Amino acid sequence: MHRGAVLGWALTAAAICTSPGSGLELQVRDIGVPVRSVNWVRLFAGHDKGGKPCVYATMGQNARNLFVLQIDPESGECRQFTAQPPRAQYPTAALMSRDGRLYIGAAYAGHLLRFDPAKDTLEDLGPIHPGAAVFPCRLDEDEQGRIWIGSYGTADLTCYDPASGEFTRHGRMDEVDMYNYPFVNRDGTVACLIRMTRPHVVVFDPETGKKETVGPVTVKGQGTLDARRGQDGWVYIVSSEGNFRVEGFQAKPVEAVPPASSSKQVLPDGTRFDFADASALVYRRLRLKRPDGGARVIDLAYDAAGNDIFYLHAGPDGRLYGSSVLPLHLFRYDPDKDELVDLGRCSAATGEAYSMANFGGKLYISSYGGARLSVYDPSRPYRFGSGAEDNPRDLGRMDRVSCRPRSTLAGPLGRVWVASLPDYGLWGGPLSWYDPRSGEKKAYYDIAGDGSCFTLAHLEKQGLLAVGTHISGGSGTRPKVDQAVLFLWDYRAEEKVWEGTLDCPVTAFNALLAAPDGRLFGTFSGRAGTGLFVFDPGKNEFVEQIELPAGAPLSLGLQWGPDGKVYGFTSQCLYRLDPGTLQVEELFRRGGTFHIPGPILGPDIYFATGHRLRAMRLF
């Protein structure tokens, strides 16, 4: 592989923090917080300090830590209790114990929290298992009142004893998989549902410390397996290989599985409750349904600090669009009116939009999970749904494997193309397309081997798609390949015509940008460092490799400016590349500022810092 010359980046004092062509100092301008919603929301019936029935909600957010909301069902008044440990942003597991205390597993702090009505406070009980449990998956309670905690990271199982205030850490329940969802069984054993690559159940005996796989072991993508506790107190395995009742270290086949344990979302007087606006991913309106059929809705007044921004895009109408993180809301910023609007739900997916593309005056949105595609026409009223007249309209999954659609590109053959990381527990992220005229979809499943298609660019002169890969598979897997590649795809012949890589370790080709003269620019990251490259499709060679300024290159962080220069983001700076001389100028550097790259619209370049939308005047 011809690597080409390694070029140093040109840096002059006058270039730092200076607007190109103006001599003016660049300044960061805060536009606002586009979305203030909450995530990992659960509701529980409980009581307050005085013993009065109330409703509790656990809610996560990005800009501040998670909180517990105590709601008076009569007055609608709320009290908000915020978690204290650093990085305790997501209540990924929660349990109302039999004594009325609310336990919460906090990610990514890996701490166990407890709201005790008698103390009227949200307590930090400490780390669940330092270094092994960062993301609690499920909590359950045994007959002694002990809390069993299963976590992601190492499929860890830990027990917390409220009587002593001590944790007993039992370690990994599986040596390969990473997710553990524990169920306390009727006989006192703990049945651990293990995910993601080989879903199965491991039984742990607290008395002896013995652990053993029980029942079938399935393979993700080839079979299905889940676990649940029935109303009879036994844990059942529901799988594509049959249904089983778990008794001790045996899985006994059963014809039918009893109904699951009943919901605890009911107050002592029989009033049931849920969020009336849950389908819109808003969680501001608590609905109360009395046993006599009466109902009312409470508008909740709580302080949500903001959701992180995941993606920014220049829409077909000249306005800026973006996606929030968990939950996914589409937002819009109009530079002419200086108007920032949370438009609401835009996909049946609830995670975040990973990428977008413009085609035929419409905005195509590719979202996690399930790599669902939706289409929005900015000229029509906003009303999300899946019907023909809805706008945005959910168009379903791109294919049966894709999960995180990192890049979307529209145009070649009149189609919308998507490169994705695969679903949980799978390897091999596909290249897929959707035809807006016919509604047809197609995926090329094995095109990246055990790696994943990650970034896209259209080499129009050659009639090819350039596809950059990532070594990762889906969440819950470990990479099976150690080198990312760039390949060229002939979309008419439906075949790969070239594949290669740099002669240095590459984890991901994380941005691609086609040039008017036919060259391809891109950035890469790897174990030995990062950089920018130039690829010549005529020679099928990497002809230059260029050192970047400080920081790691941001995914999808390259774009053309109106001056014919390439603008790019790293985690620490904004830079400009002259495509003729291949000299790099660092324009602005500030650590912790650039999290998500955004487009150039008019004189400004946009980006996100956490939950804040920001801009700088470039031209």
Which pLDDT tens digit goes with each residue over 392-443?
999 999 999 999 999 999 999 999 999 999 999 999 999 999 999 999 999 9
Three-state DSSP class for 51? coil
What are the two backbone dihedrals, phi and then psi, of residue 316, each rounded to the nearest 5 degrees? Answer: -70, -15
Mean per-residue pLDDT of the chain: 95
Identify residue 389 by its one-letter amino acid code.
E
Reported as a single tens digit per residue, the pLDDT across 43-53 is 999 999 999 99
Share of the chain above pLDDT 70, in %: 96
Nearest one of 33, 103, 17, 119 to 68, comparing CA atoms: 103
Q: Which helix (H) or strand (E) holds 509?
A: strand 508-514
Ramachandran bin of 343, using left for φ above 0, alpha for ψ from -120 to 50, beta for the remaining angles: alpha
| Interatomic CA distance for residues 216 and 205, integer angstroms | 19
Reported as a single tens digit per residue, the pLDDT across 306-354 is 999 999 999 999 999 999 999 999 999 999 999 999 999 999 999 999 9
Reported as a single tens digit per residue, the pLDDT across 92-125 is 999 999 999 999 999 999 999 999 999 999 999 9
Give the pLDDT band (50/70/90) at residue 13. very low
CA 407 from chain centre, in angstroms, equals: 14
Whether pLDDT at 5 is above 60:
no
Q: How does strand 520-526 pair with strand 67-71?
A: unpaired
64 neighbors 302 (Cβ within 8 angstroms): no
Identify residue 105 by its one-letter amino acid code.
G
Nearest one of 303, 262, 273, 293 to 74, comparing CA atoms: 273
Q: What is the mean pLDDT of residues 21-25?
A: 62
Give the pLDDT band (50/70/90) at residue 261. confident
Reported as a single tens digit per residue, the pLDDT across 475-508 is 999 999 999 999 999 999 999 999 999 999 999 9
Domains of the chain by start residue, with CATH = 1-32+502-619 (no CATH), 39-216+262-299 (2.130.10.10)
Tell me the sheet residues that pair with 606. 615
Whether pLDDT at 240 is above 50:
yes
Sign of CA dihedral 321, 326, 329, 334: negative
Give the pLDDT band (50/70/90) at residue 263. confident
Whether pLDDT at 16 is above 50:
no
Identify residue 575 by its one-letter amino acid code.
Y
Q: How many residues does the chain have?
A: 619
Reported as a single tens digit per residue, the pLDDT across 432-457 is 999 999 999 999 999 999 999 999 99
pLDDT, position 44: 98
Token pair 């790969």 in the structure block, residue: 496
Give the contacts of 457 (CB within 8 A, at least 6 positions apart): 409, 465, 466, 512, 513, 514, 520, 522
pLDDT, position 21: 54
Spatial strand order of the sheet with 166-172 comes to: 133-141, 147-153, 156-161, 166-172
405 neighbors 422 (Cβ within 8 angstroms): no
Give the side-chain half-sphere CA count within 13 A for 70: 22
pLDDT, position 262: 74
Please report, in angstroms and rounded to a whole number, the separation of the first and last CA atoms in the chain: 39
Q: What is the mean pLDDT of residues 576-581?
A: 98
Both tokens of residue 484? 């990312």
Q: What is the mean pLDDT of residues 367-376?
A: 98
Residue 392: cis peptide before it, omega within 30 degrees of 0: yes
pLDDT, position 364: 99
Reported as a single tens digit per residue, the pLDDT across 47-80 is 999 999 999 999 999 999 999 999 999 999 999 9
105 neighbors 151 (Cβ within 8 angstroms): yes
Whether pLDDT at 22 is above 60:
no
